[in-house]
Chain A
Amino acid sequence: MTLKKHISVSKQIFIPIAALVLLAVFNLLVDPAFFKISLGHNSAGDPVLTGYLMTILDYGSEVAILAIGMTLVTAASGGQDISVGAAVAIAGSVILRILVGIGGDGSLRAPIFVGFLAACVVSMLFGAFNGMLVAVFKIQPMVATLILYTAGRSIAAWINNNELPIVTDKSFTYFGGFIPGIPIPTPFFLAVVCIVAALLALKFTNLGLYTQAVGINASSSRLNGINPVFIKWLSFVLLGLCVAVVGLIKTSRLSSINYSVIAKDIEMDAILAVALGGNALSGGKFNIMASIMGAYVIQFLTTTLYKFNVSSDALPAYKAVVVILLVVISSPTVKDKLIGLQKRMKQQKGGGQS
C-alpha cells in the first residue's frame, strides 16, 4: 500500500520535471546563453545575480506562492479560484493605503509589517467571502470567484481613491527586489518560507488528509466526522494569505501599483501550475511540491517565450495551447484510449513473437 502510494506520488512530480527537462534541453539547443548567470550590480550598487534563470527564480516565486493556496482550494473544492489576480490588486492597494495613504508624500506612515498584516487580514476576509459562497451556498468555485474577479480591480482602485501612491522609502523595495548584500532575489526566500510553512502544516496537522477526504467525497467525509464546509472555507482563507504575500511582492517591485495591470492573468498561471503538477483539477489527492515545481516550469516557459520576443499580450495564446494539451492528455477519455492502444500494441507484439 505505502509502496503503491509512493510510486504514484513520484509519478506525479515526474510530470513537471519532465516538462522542465524538455524546456531546458530546448533552450540549451537553441541558445546556451540562456543559462548564463552573471554577477552584476543594481542601481543601489549592491551585488545581484542576473540572468534568465534568476528571472525565473524571481517571478516564478510569485506563482509558486499562489500555487500553494490554489492546490489546497483545488483539492478541497474541486474548482479553482479565478479571482487571485484581482485579490492581489486589492492586497497591494491595502498595503499602499496603510503605508502611504491618499495624498501621502511617499514616506512611510506605518511600519511595513503593519501594512502587510492589514493586507493579510483583508485578503483573508475576501478569501472568506469566496469560501462562504463556495462552502455554505454551494456555488461552483469558479463562478463564485467570478464575483471578486469582476469587482476586485474596481475595489482596489476604490481603496486608494483611484490614486497611485508611490513609496519612496528604500526598504520597501527589498521584498520584490534584493536585500542589500544578498545577491538572490527576495521573492525566492519568501516563497521558501511559504513552502516550508505549508509543508510543516501538512506534516503536523490533519489539514492535508482532511482536504483530500473532502475533495474525494464531501458527504462521506462528513459522515466520518470531518466538516467539509469548514475545510473548503479554510482552503480559500489560506489562499487569501498567499495572495497577501504576492501583493506585497508585486507592489514592492513597482513601489507603486497599477490597478488594471498588476498580477494580470496570474490566476491562469496558478491554475496551470496546479494542473502541470499532475493534481486532478476536479479535486481530491494533491501534491504541493509538484504544484510548486509546476509554477517554476510555467515561469520557465514564460521566460523562454519572452526570449523569443513574444509580446506579453500574445503570451496567453501560447499558454492556452499548453493548457489544452495538458488537460487533453490527462483527460480520462484520452488516457483510456492511450492505455487501450498500448495494450493492443503489446498484443500485436506478442502475436508477432508467437
Chain B
Amino acid sequence: MTKAQTAKSGPASAKTKMTDTNLLLLITVIVFIIMYAGAMLFLKKGFLKPQTFLNILNANSALIITSCGMSIVMITGGIDISVGGVVALVSMSCAVYLDYQGGSVFGSLLIALGIGLAFGAVQGFLVAYLDIQPFIVSLAGMFFARGMTTIVHTAPFNVANEAFVALKGARILIPGLGTVTKAGKYVDAYVVLGVPVALLIVVLLFLVLRFTKLGRSFYAVGGNRQSALMLGINVKRTRFLAHLLCGLLAGIGGYVYFLYVGSGSASHAGGMEMNAIASSIIGGTLLSGGVGNIFGTFVGVLSLNTIQNIVSSIGLDDAWWTGITVAGMLCVFLIIQSVLLARKR
C-alpha cells in the first residue's frame, strides 16, 4: 500500500531510495510478525495474552521516543549516542528537583525538556556549524551527561513526591483485551501514561517526515549533502534541527522513563543509546543516511524486545544473553544493510 503511494508521489530520482526504505521496512515487519507468531505458537505461556504485548509497550515507551529522535539524526547522516546519558541525567535531575527542592510535577517536566533541548542545541551546533564528527560530539555528550548525573546526585533513590507518585501509578485501562486470572477474576489490560505519548510522537513524526518540507529536507541532506545544498536547502540548519529534535525527544523520553521507573540513578538507561541505534537500524534506517522510516523504528523497538522476551522465556535468562542477543541482531541487520548498499552501487 505504502509502496504504491510513494511510487506515485515520490520524485523519480528518489524512487530507488524509496524502494530501499520499503524493502528494509518490509524485512523488519516480517521478521517481527514471524517472531511474535512463532512465540505465540511454540512458547504459549505469556505471549498469548494481550497484556504481554502491552507490557512491551509499557516498558519501552521511553525507548520508542528516543529511538525516533535517533532515527531522525541518522536519516540526516549523523548519529547521537548521548541519548542514554541524557535520559539518566533527566531522571536524576527531576528526582532531585521533586524530592529535595520541593518542586512541582510541571516544573520537573520543564527541566526534562530544558535538559533535552540544551543537549540537542549544543551538539547540533558543534555538528552542523563547526562540522565536527557527530560521533565524537555525542560521545563527549554521553560522558558529560553520565558524569553530570553523579555530580547532581550520587546515590540512587526513589521519588516520594505525592503528585508524582499518583501520576506514575496512573493506568489507562483498555476494555476488551483483558484476561481472566487463575482465580477466575477478570483483569483489564492497561497501559501507562507514556504509551499514548510515545504513540502520538511516532504518528506525529511519521507525518512530519513524510509530508512537511522539513521532513523531506532531512532525507535530502542525508541522501546527498551536496545536492541538497544545490537544491537550496539550508544544510547546516537542517542538521542542527535534527540534533535539536533528537535532544528534545531524549528529554521527553527521559521524562517518560522517569515516570516509568520513578527513581533517579546514575546507572539508569545504561545502554539505551545502543538499543535506540539497534532499533533504528533494525527498523530500516540506513547508517549512511537518507533512508529511514519512523514506523520501522517503532517496529524495530518491538522486535528487539520480543526477541529478548523469547530468549529469556526459553531459559536463557542469564544476564549476558540480553547483550549478546541485541548485538547479534544488530550485526545481522547491519550486514543486510551493507549488502543492500553494495548491490545498489
A residues with a Cβ closer than 8 A to B are: 79-80, 82, 133, 137-140, 142-144, 146-151, 153-155, 157-158, 162, 265, 268, 271, 275, 281-282, 311, 313-321, 323-324, 327-328, 331-334
- Check A138 against B341 for contact (C-beta < 8 Å): yes
Inter-chain CA distance A143–B132, complex, in Å, is 17
Q: B143's contact among A148, A316, A332, by CB below 8 Å, is which? A: A316
Answer whether A320 and B143 are a contact pair too, CB < 8 Å, given A150-B274, A313-B150, A327-B132: yes
**Residue B266 lies at the interface, judged by CB distance under 8 Å to chain A:** yes
CB-based nearest A residue for B342: A138
- Check A320 against B320 for contact (C-beta < 8 Å): no
- Check B320 against A143 for contact (C-beta < 8 Å): no
Contacts of B330 in A (CB 8 A): 146-147, 150
Inter-chain CA distance A142–B277, complex, in Å, is 12
Q: Would you call the interface of chain A mostly helix, strand, loop, or mixed? A: helix
The smallest C-beta distance from A90 to any residue of chain B, in angstroms, reads: 12
Contacts of A80 in B (CB 8 A): 135
Contacts of A333 in B (CB 8 A): 129-131
The smallest C-beta distance from B334 to any residue of chain A, in angstroms, reads: 5
- Check A140 against B287 for contact (C-beta < 8 Å): yes
The smallest C-beta distance from B55 to any residue of chain A, in angstroms, reads: 23
CB-based nearest B residue for A272: B140
Contacts of B335 in A (CB 8 A): 133, 137
- Check A328 against B277 for contact (C-beta < 8 Å): no
* Given A142-B79, A149-B274, A150-B278: 18 more A-B contacts, CB < 8 Å: A139-B334, A146-B274, A146-B330, A148-B327, A153-B320, A154-B319, A155-B320, A268-B139, A281-B136, A311-B154, A313-B266, A316-B146, A317-B143, A317-B148, A317-B151, A323-B139, A327-B132, A327-B137
Contacts of A158 in B (CB 8 A): 318, 320, 324
Answer whether A151 and B277 are a contact pair too, CB < 8 Å, given A138-B338, A139-B334, A140-B287: no
- Check A334 against B135 for contact (C-beta < 8 Å): no
Q: Within B227-253, which residues are at the interface with A (CB < 8 Å)? A: none
- Check A282 against B133 for contact (C-beta < 8 Å): yes
Of the listed residues A79, A147, A333, A334, the one surrounded by the most CB atoms of chain B closer than 10 A to its CB is A147
Inter-chain CA distance A339–B341, complex, in Å, is 40
Q: What are 28 of the A-B contact pairs (CB < 8 Å)?
A: A82-B139, A137-B339, A138-B342, A140-B135, A143-B79, A143-B334, A148-B327, A150-B271, A150-B326, A150-B327, A151-B326, A154-B321, A157-B320, A162-B319, A162-B320, A282-B133, A311-B150, A313-B150, A316-B147, A317-B146, A324-B137, A327-B126, A327-B132, A327-B136, A327-B140, A328-B132, A333-B129, A333-B131
CB-based nearest A residue for B123: A324
Contacts of A139 in B (CB 8 A): 287, 334, 337-338
- Check B147 against A318 for contact (C-beta < 8 Å): yes
Inter-chain CA distance A122–B167, complex, in Å, is 50
Answer whether A324 and B287 are a contact pair too, CB < 8 Å, given A151-B327, A331-B130: no
Q: Within B32-81, which residues are at the interface with A (CB < 8 Å)? A: 79
Contacts of B274 in A (CB 8 A): 146, 149-150
- Check A154 against B323 for contact (C-beta < 8 Å): yes
Inter-chain CA distance A66–B330, complex, in Å, is 26
The smallest C-beta distance from B281 to any residue of chain A, in angstroms, reads: 8
- Check A133 against B324 for contact (C-beta < 8 Å): no
Contacts of A313 in B (CB 8 A): 146-147, 150, 154, 266
- Check B324 against A154 for contact (C-beta < 8 Å): yes
Inter-chain CA distance A333–B320, complex, in Å, is 44
Contacts of A133 in B (CB 8 A): 331, 334-335
- Check B130 against A320 for contact (C-beta < 8 Å): no
**Residue B161 lies at the interface, judged by CB distance under 8 Å to chain A:** no
Inter-chain CA distance A151–B328, complex, in Å, is 8
The smallest C-beta distance from B73 to any residue of chain A, in angstroms, reads: 13
Q: A315's contact among B147, B327, B342, by CB below 8 Å, is which? A: B147
- Check A323 against B327 for contact (C-beta < 8 Å): no
Answer whether A328 and B323 are a contact pair too, CB < 8 Å, given A162-B318, A317-B144: no
Of the listed residues B266, B274, B323, the one surrounded by the most CB atoms of chain A closer than 10 A to its CB is B323
Q: Top 6 nearest A-B pairs by Cβ distance?
A: A317-B147, A151-B327, A154-B323, A154-B320, A316-B143, A320-B144
Of the listed residues B133, B287, B326, B341, the one surrounded by the most CB atoms of chain A closer than 10 A to its CB is B133
- Check B327 against A314 for contact (C-beta < 8 Å): no
**Residue B322 lies at the interface, judged by CB distance under 8 Å to chain A:** yes
Inter-chain CA distance A324–B258, complex, in Å, is 28
- Check B130 against A143 for contact (C-beta < 8 Å): no
CB-based nearest A residue for B277: A146
- Check B130 against A265 for contact (C-beta < 8 Å): no
Contacts of A332 in B (CB 8 A): 131
The smallest C-beta distance from B308 to any residue of chain A, in angstroms, reads: 13
Answer whether A150 and B139 are a contact pair too, CB < 8 Å, given A320-B147, A324-B126: no
- Check A323 against B126 for contact (C-beta < 8 Å): no
Inter-chain CA distance A147–B329, complex, in Å, is 9
**Residue B223 lies at the interface, judged by CB distance under 8 Å to chain A:** no
Q: A331's contact among B132, B142, B328, by CB below 8 Å, is which? A: B132
Contacts of A331 in B (CB 8 A): 130-132
Inter-chain CA distance A311–B266, complex, in Å, is 13
Inter-chain CA distance A148–B319, complex, in Å, is 16
Contacts of B283 in A (CB 8 A): none
Contacts of B320 in A (CB 8 A): 153-155, 157-158, 162
- Check B322 against A154 for contact (C-beta < 8 Å): yes
- Check A271 against B131 for contact (C-beta < 8 Å): no
Contacts of B146 in A (CB 8 A): 313, 316-317
Contacts of B132 in A (CB 8 A): 327-328, 331
Contacts of A316 in B (CB 8 A): 143-144, 146-147
* Per-residue A-contact encoding for B250-289, CB less than 8 Å = 1, 0 else: 0000000000000000100001001001100000000100
Contacts of A157 in B (CB 8 A): 319-320
Inter-chain CA distance A164–B179, complex, in Å, is 44
- Check A151 against B143 for contact (C-beta < 8 Å): no
